[in-house]
Structures are given as structure tokens and as C-alpha cells.
Amino acid sequence: VDATGGMPICTGDLFLSLDEGRDFPHGGTERCTALLLASGLHLVTRDSGVVRSFAWNPFAALSKVCGPSQDAWEEGGMRIFLLSSSRGDQTRRLFLAAHGEDADATRERWLREIAGALRLYIRSQLPPVDLS
């Protein structure tokens, strides 16, 4: 149980790009245990145990990543997705990837679960409005 986010909604293995500011192939990758919480995403690197946290905000965006610079990674079995957020003049980007036999299904599951958590968070921050 995480004090800031409760019980994990989803857990599993993902790869994290070590260079948040550029396309996925640059900077190498690190295998992580990912914990999706109501408050955001925590990534614990397998080798060093370093924890990286990505807290939700209403401006977070999630997308599949595709294009020429990702083709080599896709051919190598990586299925990439991007979690980004802008706040003021700063943008934080996490390139994440599923890998293995079921990489396509794993990426789709993570996209679905993260999108659901983001929707719940945004709804909790924006009260309902009656326009009648």
C-alpha cells in the first residue's frame, strides 16, 4: 500500500527510456517494476532500486509512440508508449515500453489502465457543472 495513492491499480514490468527529453532510442533503457496508483505512476528500477514518480495533473497526456525513430525498437520487440505532462514552461516526458511475446497486449493493457486512472483523477479535480 502506498500512502499517497493507495493500493496499486496495476503492476508489472516496463522499460523506461533514460533520456526523458528526446526520442525513445536515445540514452538507453532500464528495466523497471511499474506501479500504477490513483495519484500517478511509480517506477522502481530493477538494478539500482531508484524510484521515479510521475504525479498526475489535469494536463497529462498518454499516447502510443510510432515513427521512423522507433521502428528499430519495435523490430526488437519493444512496444513503446509516451506519458507526458506540461506545467508552466516545463514538459516532462516518460517513454515507456513493454517487451516480450505479449508486448502488444501488455502495452494495450497499460494504456487502458493509465487512461482510466487519469480520467478518474481529472474528474476528481474538476467538479461537475450543471449547465441547465
Task: Tell whether the model's pLDDT for residue 11 goes beyond 90.
Answer: yes
Task: Tell whether the model's pLDDT for residue 1 goes beyond 50.
Answer: no
When computed from its CA atoms, the radius of gyration of the chain, rounded to whole angstroms, is 15
pLDDT confidence of residue 64: 85
More confident residue, 31 or 65: 31
Query: What percent of the chain stands above pLDDT 90?
Result: 30
Average pLDDT of the segment spanning 27-38: 87
Average pLDDT of the segment spanning 116-120: 92
Q: Mean pLDDT across the chain, nearest whole number?
A: 82
Element at 74 (helix H, strand E): helix 71-75
pLDDT digits (tens, 9 = 90+) for 88-108: 777 788 889 999 889 999 999
Query: What percent of the chain stands above pLDDT 70?
Result: 82
Neighbour tally for 121: CB within 10 Å? 18
